Amino acid sequence: MEELKVALLGAGTVGSQVVRLLEENAEDFAVRAGAKLKIIGIAVRDTSKPRDPAIARSLLTDDAESIIDQADIVIELMGGIEPARTYILRAMAGGASVVTGNKALLAEYGPEIYDAAAAADVDLYYEAAVGGAVPIVYGLRESLAGDNVLSVLGVLNGTTNYILDEMTHNGLSYAEALRNAQELGYAEADPTADVDGFDAAAKCAILASLAFHTRINLEDVHTHGIRDITPEQIAAAKREGYVVKLVASAKRRPHGIELYVGPSLVPQGHPLSTVHGAYNAVVIDSEASDRLMFYGPGAGGSPTASAVLSDVVAAANKKVYGGHAPRELIYGELPVLSAAESRSRFQLRMAVPDVVGVLAAITSVFAHHGVSISAVAQESVLPENKGHNRAILTVTTHEASQRALEDTIAQLREGIPVAASEGQEDPGTLPVEISSFIRVEEA
Amino acid sequence: MEELKVALLGAGTVGSQVVRLLEENAEDFAVRAGAKLKIIGIAVRDTSKPRDPAIARSLLTDDAESIIDQADIVIELMGGIEPARTYILRAMAGGASVVTGNKALLAEYGPEIYDAAAAADVDLYYEAAVGGAVPIVYGLRESLAGDNVLSVLGVLNGTTNYILDEMTHNGLSYAEALRNAQELGYAEADPTADVDGFDAAAKCAILASLAFHTRINLEDVHTHGIRDITPEQIAAAKREGYVVKLVASAKRRPHGIELYVGPSLVPQGHPLSTVHGAYNAVVIDSEASDRLMFYGPGAGGSPTASAVLSDVVAAANKKVYGGHAPRELIYGELPVLSAAESRSRFQLRMAVPDVVGVLAAITSVFAHHGVSISAVAQESVLPENKGHNRAILTVTTHEASQRALEDTIAQLREGIPVAASEGQEDPGTLPVEISSFIRVEEA
C-alpha cells in the first residue's frame, strides 16, 4: 500500500487530537484514504515546550519548511496570517495538498489561496475553519452543488453563544457572563475577536463565498458585537417569544449579497433558537431544498480534529486515485450590498413622554421614512419627578433597509413635535430616548 | 467545454424537477460540473401518458437501454427492484456513472451494486435514497471519514412522522390520522411500506452500512410499525415529557451492531423531538465529533431533485477531472446482533389488581430477569365491578436486552403470586394485563 507523507504545522489542542486519532485508528484511515498516512514531522515554534502526550517528541521540529517540502499533505493548524500563509503557499507550490482550519487566513486571503491551489493543481480543504465538526463547508461546497442558495444563517461563535445563554438562563449581566466564560476558558483574556463578532464575521465571509460563488472579504461583512446587550433586552425578548443570538447572516437579495454579523432576536420556534453553549448550527435556505440545518460542536480539540481528518482522507483519496476537490467555486459576480442597503426586521426600545398624541407622532416618523411597523408594545409607565410620565415603547418593524431605520432613529432623537390636544397646553417638541435597536429574524 | 450525456430513467415527481432545475440553471451546472450536462433521453414505460410541463415530449422514450448505452451518467429514479437493478448494472458495465434515489434496491442489493461500480471503475451516488435533501449519505460517507461512528438515530419517514404529529398535536386516533395523511397525499392507499416501518428500515440499512463499513441487509433491521400506537400512549408520553417518534436506530455495541426501527419515546429536549411533518433528521454520535445533526425536507420533488443533482455534479466532476467516489466502504466485519440481544430502555404500561404487595411482586419479576427499573408511576385507579380495584402502572426500565424484557413480559402475563397480608384473604395469582411496551431513547 502506498504511503503518503503528512506534515503537521502546529501542535495545540486540535493538532494533538489529530495525531492521537491518526495513530489510534491508523488501519481504518489507511483503508479509507487508500494509503498509509505517515506523519513525518510536527512543526512548532518551541520544541522544548511541554506537549500533550499524544505528540511524540521525536517528531517535533522548528524547521517547518523542511517537512513542508517533503510532504504530500500539509495540515496547517498554527492559526494567524503569517507564517501560515507563506507556509501554505510554499506547500502548494511544492505539490502538496493542504488541509487548514485557519479561518482568519481564509477570510482575508481566501481567493489568493484558492487560486494558488488551482495553479499548482493541488487540493485545499478547510472544513475545520468554520463550525468545528459541523460539515458546513462540505455542505455548501458539495451537497448544495445541485441547488441555488438563498440564505445562510448561523450561530458560529461558541463564546458569545455561551455568554448569551448565561444571560438568558441565569439572568447574568454581560460583564458577569464574560467573566464566567473567561474563568472556564471559553473566552480569552482579550475577548475582542469573539464578543465584537470578528470571529463569526470571518466564518460568515468564508461561507458566503461558497454559498454565492463570489469573492467576499472580511470587510464586506457588517459586524456588530454583543457588548451592548443588556439583561433588560434579553428579558424583554424572552417575554415576546425571542432569544438573543449572535447571528451570522448571508442572504441573496435581488440586487446583491447582504452580509452581517450581530445580535438578533431569533423566534423561539426557529431552529437556531435551540443552539446552546459551544454548539454551532447553520441553517441554509435554498431554491430547491427548502431548508437544511447542520448542527454540532463548533469547537474543541477532538471534534475539530475529526473535521481536519475527514479533509485529510479526501485529500489522500485524490492523491491516490486522481481527481481534485471542487475548484470552480468563485465564478459569480454578485455585488455586496452596503450595510445601509441591507434589509431586516428591527426592534427598537425607546422611552417617550406619555402624552396624548405621542404614539401618532412617533409612528408618523417611521412612516415618513417608509418603515412599516408590525407591532408596538407599551411595556410600562415610569413615574418621573418632572413633567410628563414616561412610557417605554417597543416598536417592531417589518423588513426595512438599515438606512431607513437609521434615518428614522436620527429623526426620533431630534425629538418629536406633538400637537396640543383640546384643553391641554402645547407639549412642544418631546424628547425620545432610544435605548436599543436590534435585528429580528423571520421564523 | 466538454459535454456529458445524461440519461434519465423515470419521469415522476423527482425526475421532472431534475429536468426543470438542470434546464433553468444550465450555466451554473456547467461551471460546477466542469462540463455541459445534456439530457439525451428520459425513459418511461408509457410515452403517451401526460407529464409535467418540464418534460419535453421529444426526450421521452420507452427504450431505456438505448439511452443507457449512450450515457456518461445515468440517473435512475424509477424505484423498485426490477428493471432498475438490471438497468443500473448495464449502465455501469457500459462505463456510465450512476446516480440513484432507489432505497429499496440499495437496501436489498447494495453490496452487489457497490461491487459492480468498483469492478467497472465507475461511480455510484445515492444521496437521494435516504432523507430526501438531507445530505446524510455524504455526511457518513465523507464528512465522518475521519471519525468512528457510535450511533445513528434518525426520523426518516415523513408519512409516519405526519401521522404521529397529528395524533400528538390534534389528539387523533391512528386511523383518523392515517386517513388525513391519505387524503393529503402523504400516505398511499396501501400504507404498509410506511406505517409498518419498512421504508425507514431500508434507509436504516443503507445508513448503517455506511456508518459501520459493514454489509447490512434489510432483514438485519428489526422492524416494528406504528399501527398499534394509541392516543392514550401518546398522551401518557406527553405528560412524562416524551414524544412518540418512529425512530431508526443503528448502534455500535461491544459485540456487534444493533439495528431497529420502531416507535420510541423521545425525550422532549432531544433534537429528534422537534422534527415535524415531512422533515427528516439524523443524529450521529461519534468518537471524536461528539454529536452532529443533519436536518431538512425528507421528501418532495424539488428537495429530492436537489440531492440528485449534487450527485450528478460530483459524478460529472469525476468524469471530467478523474478520481472516483469513496469506494472502500464495506471493509468491516462487525456482526449484526439479533433483536433479542438488542438493548434499550423500555416503558411498559400494565393494568394490575390494586392490592397490597402487588408492586413488590411485579418489581421482583423484573429483578428476576435482570431488568433494572428506573421509574414506576401509578397513573390512575379504575373501579371494577368484580373483585379488586385495578391500577394502571407505567414502568420505565434502565437499559436491558430485548430478550430479558420479553421474558419479563411473558412471566408477568402468566400472572403474579402475591402473598396474603395480615388479616386479609390470600389474593392468589393475580392477572397482569400489559397494554403496551415501547422503547425509550436516551436524552
Q: Provide, as residue numbers in chain A, all residues whose Cβ is less than 8 Å from the Cβ of B319.
A: none
Residue type, position A93, single letter: A
Nearest-neighbour CA in chain B from A302: distance (Å): 5
Q: What is the pLDDT of residue A85?
A: 97
* Mode of pairing for the β-strands spanning A242-253 and A256-267: antiparallel
Radius of gyration of chain B from its Cα atoms, rounded to whole angstroms: 25
* Mode of pairing for the β-strands spanning B256-267 and B400-401: unpaired
pLDDT bin (cut points 50, 70, 90) of residue B383 is: low
pLDDT tens figures, A350-361:
998 888 788 889
Residue in A131, A292, A111, A80 with CA at minimum distance from that of residue A210: A111
Give the whole-number percent of chain B exceeding pLDDT 90. Answer: 70
CB contact under 8 A, A306 and B134: no
Q: Identify the residue among A27, A138, A143 best suited for mutation to test binding to B, counting B beta carbons within 10 A and taking the highest.
A: A143
Counting one residue from A and one from B, how many pairs have CB atoms under 8 Å apart?
180
Residue in A167, A269, A151 with CA at minimum distance from that of residue A228: A167
Q: Provide, as residue numbers in chain B, all residues whose Cβ is less than 8 Å from the Cβ of A305.
A: 146, 288
Calculate mean pLDDT across residues B392-402: 93
Considering the domain delimited by A3-132+301-321, tell me its CATH architecture: 3-Layer(aba) Sandwich (3.40)
Residues pairing with A256 in the sheet: A253
Window A:112-171, CB contacts with B under 8 Å: 127, 133-135, 138-139, 142-148
- The topology (CATH level 3) of A341-440 is Alpha-Beta Plaits (3.30.70)
Grid cell listed for A323: 481527481
Q: What is the pLDDT of residue A378?
A: 82
pLDDT tens figures, A163-185:
999 999 999 999 999 999 999 88
Which residues of chain B does CATH 3.40.50.720 include? 3-132+301-321
Calculate mean pLDDT across residues B429-441: 90
> Could you tell me if B400 and B370 are in contact, meaning their C-beta atoms sit under 8 angstroms apart?
yes
The residue annotated as part of the active site, out of B203, B251, B318, B319, is: B203
Task: Give backbone dihedrals phi and psi of A174, rounded to 5 degrees, phi first.
Answer: -55, -45
Q: Where are the alpha helices (DSSP H) in B84-230?
A: 84-93, 103-120, 136-138, 158-170, 174-183, 192-195, 198-212
Nearest-neighbour CA in chain B from A51: distance (Å): 20
What is the maximum alpha-carbon separation in chain B? 96
B312 touches chain A (CB under 8 A): yes
Calculate mean pLDDT across residues B215-244: 92
The per-residue DSSP string of B40-87 comes to EEEE-S-TTS---TTS-GGGEES-HHHHHHH-SEEEE---SSTTHHHH
What interhelical angle do B174-183 and B158-170 show, nearest 10?
A: 120
pLDDT bin (cut points 50, 70, 90) of residue B197 is: very high
Calculate mean pLDDT across residues B390-408: 92
The ipTM is 0.86
B16 touches chain A (CB under 8 A): no
A296 touches chain B (CB under 8 A): yes
Regions of chain A where pLDDT drops below 70: 327-329, 380-388, 421
Q: What is the pLDDT of residue A391?
A: 86
Which residues of chain B does CATH 3.30.360.10 include? 137-297
> Could you tell me if A157 and A194 are in contact, meaning their C-beta atoms sit under 8 angstroms apart?
yes
Q: What is the pLDDT of residue B428?
A: 77
Q: Is residue A344 part of an annotated ligand binding site?
A: no
Q: What is the pLDDT of residue A250?
A: 97
On the question of a cis peptide bond just before residue B83, with omega within 30 degrees of 0, the verdict is: yes
> Could you tell me if B413 and B441 are in contact, meaning their C-beta atoms sit under 8 angstroms apart?
no
DSSP single-letter state for residue B273: G
Residues pairing with A267 in the sheet: A242
* Closest residue on chain B to A18 (Cα): B146
Report in angstroms the alpha-carbon separations of A427 from A381, A389, A409, A434, B122.
Answer: 18, 13, 21, 20, 81
Q: Identify the residue among A122, A147, A302, A308 best suited for mutation to test binding to B, counting B beta carbons within 10 A and taking the highest.
A: A147
Calculate mean pLDDT across residues B109-135: 92
Residue in B315, B297, B294, B295 with CA at minimum distance from that of residue B306: B297
Q: What is the pLDDT of residue A387?
A: 60
CATH classification code of B137-297: 3.30.360.10
Residue in A160, A141, A161 with CA at minimum distance from that of residue A152: A141
> Mean pLDDT across chain B, nearest whole number?
91
Which residues of chain A does CATH 3.30.70.260 include? 341-440
The per-residue DSSP string of A31-99 comes to HHHTSEEEEEEEE-S-TTS---TTS-GGGEES-HHHHHHH-SEEEE---SSTTHHHHHHHHHHTT-EEE
Q: pTM of the predicted model, to two decimals?
A: 0.90
Closest residue to A32, CB basis, from B32, B309, B328: B328
Calculate mean pLDDT across residues B311-328: 86
Q: Identify the residue among B142, B149, B214, B328 best suited for mutation to test binding to A, counting A beta carbons within 10 A and taking the highest.
A: B142
Please confirm, yes or no, whether B203 is among the known catalytic residues. yes
